[in-house]
Amino acid sequence: MAPDGVLSEAIAYIGMMSILVAFLLETRNVLHSKQRLYLLMMAFGSGLLGVRAYLIEEWAFLILEIVWCLAAVVALSAVANPALPTEDEASS
């Protein structure tokens, strides 16, 4: 296998492991799907798999991983910056 192929495979396995470990921890109630660590692992893993999809020219998989990564990043930003309280919440 060419060095580029080894790097591409390594990227794929690291990304896959990140997503699988996050999922397994979530299904075992160790992490919650809205926790920062879970979302970071999902964004990281899907980002790496997106890079891999680009390298091997798997366009449908690339789109899937981009959307998955963006969903995790958007959720992360919501966790990092919770919405301001509504008027009802602020007055109580």
- b/e sequence 38-54, b meaning 16+ C-beta within 10 Å: bbbbbbbbbbbbbbbbe
Secondary structure tally for the chain: helices H, strands E: 4, 0
The whole-number pLDDT of residue 4 equals: 78
pLDDT digits (tens, 9 = 90+) for 18-62: 999 999 999 999 999 999 999 999 999 999 999 999 999 999 999
Q: Which amino acid is at 5?
A: G
Q: Please check the confidence at residue 3 and state whether its pLDDT lies above 90.
A: no
Question: What are the domain boundaries of the chain?
Answer: 3-91
